[in-house]
Structure 1
């Protein structure tokens, strides 16, 4: 953009050092595009048009007319416990700490004044069938999200009209009546409650959101509920510009204890957010948007920073990058000072898109010569151990410090 090219797109081969979950590969393809003098609205409109053209050309089931639905990050986390929710399965989460007894809260969590949330898995009006399913789920590896929760294990209740208070005795009369009305409880329904800290959302999911995903998947496999059908695109917007650094994330080389949620070149949503960065950066909203399809994040984009002063403020004063790390971005700051137009872009994971279109669980199913879960190419058997003979060919030898060149 700074060089004067107004817009571009490319199908780019990418190589990343990432953990190899089902939706990730160390080598993958993405559709990357950027446009000068544009906003996130422009980018989203172009992507929607491209996806609809793709669907009308290749898929039997057309997409609904009109723009893709939108939801804020805050609402996605509150309603579904995920920043990439599969909204087809329902099971919306609701807050209930204001309607349940304090002693019940203390039984499910040791947190002081926590948020308590609930969700419902619909049964087949058969409480015994739901009990059998729940016991089977709790004994499965997928129930780790149920058991291994540092903020307290969830409570599970099966609605059974044959029992006192329909099996919800710990809630008391008033709370039971409210829950019956709010959640439309019927015989055999499973009610799960979970406590969490009363802090702003961060990261990609909540414990109850993880449990929502896993228990619905198990219910489908047990024929307790039907699998969701169709394709539901969704834009997730208004992410926090900065998030607390997680132990599982590499961060961006700073010492502030926070990192950019998307990347350090994402622009704040409003002009007022620039001054807010100096007082409370965790409250700043980013001009960042993710495209989600059936619970899979297809890609993410943002409006980029085009001001050298704002970019340097974020790198040096907000993220607190050391001088040697700042030097890595000297060329960027120089280009921004020379004059760079406002611009926005997005990158879509091409492999993920094809996998969802074909109903595949893993991107490995749609990639030629994919890597295994250990990062190995099974066709050519690499990476492989180096033999003494191959080392001699290149005048190399192994030492405790690594590979050393002979002579």
Structure 2
């Protein structure tokens, strides 16, 4: 019996093989016949013939939709594939009957090929000639359809008529003979080959509607993201670029012994520091939490003996929506056992260096845009054509990255994400000029600040302009201060323009002694003042740095950006990498983020699993000065943008529990949320450290774009909505009932009529504390879990209605 069925399968395969044109064999037949492209076996001059039995021919006589083409004199073709022989055909048939396209490596002059793509606008030259470009995709050569005919009723005549009936932007399949085009490539990529296709047959696979108006500079709203993907080649190239970068990073990490392991997305609610999304379940009072990051899972992997782990992980956080934030994003997550923070920094630095030296992936053009490079020929062509691509690859310092402490970054640049392109002679670092009310500027201090304990800091901006032009620049800047600067109330920046024609060179408001202080300031980072120099002074509260930036730091960055925008400062398109380390282990609560919910008044700067940097920092924890302790954490910054961060983890369960209970003063219920992690650490977990690279931000920086939404296929808006699909959507009453999210009024009414008012029992105190983090952070589920059936039997009678079978059984 087995031999009989095997014989039938082999016979059917042999019958089908001669009739397949330019297609790969179905997968189920690959074990019987070696998979080979039939383009390699069928001569090019016979590609448009179909002298063998067609697999669809047995159905053509009985299908009224498949009518033969009008009979007439044939110029070249005596027989063609049945797909092109049919005069009319349904969309359903079109979806399955079109021939496979010819691979791009087989594109040669005088060769017959099949193509598939989107038709562009048609250009008619008289009644017997038509030109039309076809979008075949980035990996194919450029093809222009050339349709001509000489004799009525010929296949060329029929194809010419069919071409004129197809609306632009419709998907088509066509067949013809390639000719070398004399026209140069019209695209930005001058390395592409260009062919003319002498049309023999063409058919539309679908129709593009006429009510959608497509113009060259059309701006598609988020609702029509699919149209933006179709008609914005730059967006498609960015997505291809993103894919190539992901492949290259994967290759580099796997060559270093990292193992790609997927971790669950459905986790539990734990107070790691950010608000999270909850996913309700049909189990009353229970919900999943979407992972903020795979942090706890990857630490458990280290305890489980996995030496090196990585994955491109989806992360979910209910954060304020900004240009560089999304409720869901992708990060390259990695962890190493028996490693320190220095080991992780060295590995990541080498991977980044390899990535940016991978010239086959991308190149940056003279216009500042990034382009994808696919082949060695394109690489060599770009090198030989510097006029088209003035910068092959990126200028970067990835091979020799700068390292800087958090305190130094805040002192010199006023931010923990310094942009190293902002430097002298255009912009100086921050210099402390004087401190306190007893300074030389005591008469000027009331105009600067109302603070009691403060220091006065300053920066110098040199635009290379006259004093009058500099004053005009600063007037426009101060009149249009960005709202995102969020300057401290009670502190006003003071602006001076150096002008040798004015008394005290423009510093008369500071008095003679104060002006002399500014005059005497001179160093490698603060060059001696010349006409047109702008000095900005600002007061800052003395004490330890807190947060990610200072007022003057934000002003400094905004001033430099305004100088570049006006053209006074040349734009620097290089990529400057920087490692910032030695962050404070804890940060005072500001009320914006939930933190860990402890009673100490501060929360972990990165997350509560970060290890103290030295033994001295551990002593600070035990001696009651935790805000002075530093963590062994580090951030990777590029051009003022943090693209990743990591730390050495606490691998000893006793120290982890001490920080949670005694330092952060978390409740026992919240500490119990981390019982799984504490148990893993207790089981002899090795020392380990890790890192998470913001993959969306990395690609955004490479393209020098303002928002990560420009490198995502389907991003969310500033409100966290996907307008195209309409998410998030409202919860229906049935879903509320099924997932116990909230009690709908109609169910409450039924409950009262069935058994009177039912009061839910109060949850025990420990359970209430456990559920609070989820209640504070949820954006999906309700704040209070629904009562269990045991707690509210009357309501259960209403919510759990008997089935039809149960009713029938009762009646019976």
Q: Does TM-score exceed 0.5, indicating one fold?
A: yes
CA–CA separation in structure 2 for the residues paired with 1:63 and 1:170: 43
Partner residue of 1:27? 328
The answer to which of 214-223 and 36-45 deviates more is: 214-223
Helix, strand or coil at the partner of 1:264: coil
The alpha carbon displacement at 1:66 in A equals: 4.2
**Structure 1 residues 394 and 241: CA distance shift in structure 2, 3 A:** closer
**Structure 1 residues 109 and 399: CA distance shift in structure 2, 3 A:** farther
Larger gyration radius, structure 1 or structure 2: 2
**Structure 1 residues 65 and 197: CA distance shift in structure 2, 3 A:** closer
Partner residue of 2:480? 140
The alpha carbon displacement at 1:102 in A equals: 1.9
Q: 2:314 aligns with which of 13, 16, 28?
A: 13
The alpha carbon displacement at 1:211 in A equals: 1.2
Q: 1:190 aligns with which of 534, 548, 567?
A: 534
The alpha carbon displacement at 1:149 in A equals: 2.3
2:470 counterpart of 1:125: no
2:417 counterpart of 1:84: yes
Helix, strand or coil at the partner of 2:594: coil
The answer to which of 205-214 and 64-73 deviates more is: 64-73
CA–CA separation in structure 2 for the residues paired with 1:251 and 1:199: 23
Output the aligned Cα RMSD: 2.6
Helix, strand or coil at the partner of 1:364: helix
Helix, strand or coil at the partner of 2:444: helix
The answer to which of 222-231 and 5-14 deviates more is: 222-231
The answer to which of 83-92 and 62-71 deviates more is: 62-71
CA–CA separation in structure 2 for the residues paired with 1:248 and 1:228: 35
Partner residue of 2:646? 301
- Contact kept? 2:504, 2:512, Cα under 8 Å: yes
Helix, strand or coil at the partner of 1:136: helix
CA–CA separation in structure 2 for the residues paired with 1:250 and 1:67: 38
- Contact kept? 2:451, 2:541, Cα under 8 Å: yes
The alpha carbon displacement at 1:224 in A equals: 2.9
Q: 1:290 aligns with which of 635, 653, 663?
A: 635
- For residues 197-227 of structure 1, give each alpha carbon's deviation from its aligned partner in whole angstroms, at most 9, with x where no partner exists: 1110010001111111222222222223222
Helix, strand or coil at the partner of 2:636: strand
The answer to which of 65-74 and 319-328 deviates more is: 65-74
- Contact kept? 2:463, 2:563, Cα under 8 Å: no
Partner residue of 1:331? 676
Spell out the pairing of 1:171-190 with structure 2 (5 A cutoff). 171-180=510-519, 181-182=521-522, 183=526, 184-190=528-534
Helix, strand or coil at the partner of 1:332: helix
Spell out the pairing of 1:345-364 with structure 2 (5 A cutoff). 345-364=690-709
Helix, strand or coil at the partner of 2:357: helix
The alpha carbon displacement at 1:338 in A equals: 1.6
Helix, strand or coil at the partner of 1:312: helix
The answer to which of 156-165 and 59-68 deviates more is: 59-68
**Structure 1 residues 47 and 392: CA distance shift in structure 2, 3 A:** closer
**Structure 1 residues 3 and 392: CA distance shift in structure 2, 3 A:** closer
Partner residue of 2:688? 343
**Structure 1 residues 27 and 172: CA distance shift in structure 2, 3 A:** same
CA–CA separation in structure 1 for the residues paired with 2:355 and 2:722: 31
- For residues 21-55 of structure 1, give each alpha carbon's deviation from its aligned partner in whole angstroms, at most 9, with x where no partner exists: 11111111101110010011110111111111110
CA–CA separation in structure 1 for the residues paired with 2:328 and 2:471: 44
CA–CA separation in structure 1 for the residues paired with 2:736 and 2:666: 40
**Structure 1 residues 54 and 65: CA distance shift in structure 2, 3 A:** closer
Spell out the pairing of 1:5-404 with structure 2 (5 A cutoff). 5-57=306-358, 58=361, 59=363, 60-64=393-397, 66-90=399-423, 91=427, 92-97=429-434, 100-142=440-482, 145=485, 148-180=487-519, 181-182=521-522, 183=526, 184-279=528-623, 280-385=625-730
**Structure 1 residues 37 and 393: CA distance shift in structure 2, 3 A:** closer
Aligned length: 406
Helix, strand or coil at the partner of 2:608: coil
Helix, strand or coil at the partner of 2:673: helix
Structure number with greater CO (CA < 8 Å, separation at least 6) is 1
- Contact kept? 1:292, 1:298, Cα under 8 Å: yes
CA–CA separation in structure 2 for the residues paired with 1:226 and 1:103: 38
Query: Structure 1: 5+ residue runs without aligned partners?
Result: none
- For residues 296-320 of structure 1, give each alpha carbon's deviation from its aligned partner in whole angstroms, at most 9, with x where no partner exists: 0011100000111111111000000
- For residues 84-132 of structure 1, give each alpha carbon's deviation from its aligned partner in whole angstroms, at most 9, with x where no partner exists: 0112112310101157422222331111231110011212231111222
- Contact kept? 2:349, 2:398, Cα under 8 Å: no
**Structure 1 residues 399 and 49: CA distance shift in structure 2, 3 A:** farther
Partner residue of 2:85? none
The alpha carbon displacement at 1:285 in A equals: 1.0
- Contact kept? 2:395, 2:574, Cα under 8 Å: no
CA–CA separation in structure 1 for the residues paired with 2:518 and 2:738: 73
The answer to which of 191-200 and 121-130 deviates more is: 121-130
Helix, strand or coil at the partner of 1:96: strand
Query: Structure 2: 5+ residue runs without aligned partners?
Result: 1-301, 364-392, 749-780, 787-794, 800-812
**Structure 1 residues 393 and 334: CA distance shift in structure 2, 3 A:** closer
- For residues 128-148 of structure 1, give each alpha carbon's deviation from its aligned partner in whole angstroms, at most 9, with x where no partner exists: 1122222212222516637x4
Q: TM-score, normalised by structure 2?
A: 0.48
CA–CA separation in structure 2 for the residues paired with 1:366 and 1:373: 15
Helix, strand or coil at the partner of 1:218: helix
- Contact kept? 1:301, 1:347, Cα under 8 Å: yes
- Contact kept? 1:303, 1:344, Cα under 8 Å: yes
- Contact kept? 2:350, 2:399, Cα under 8 Å: no
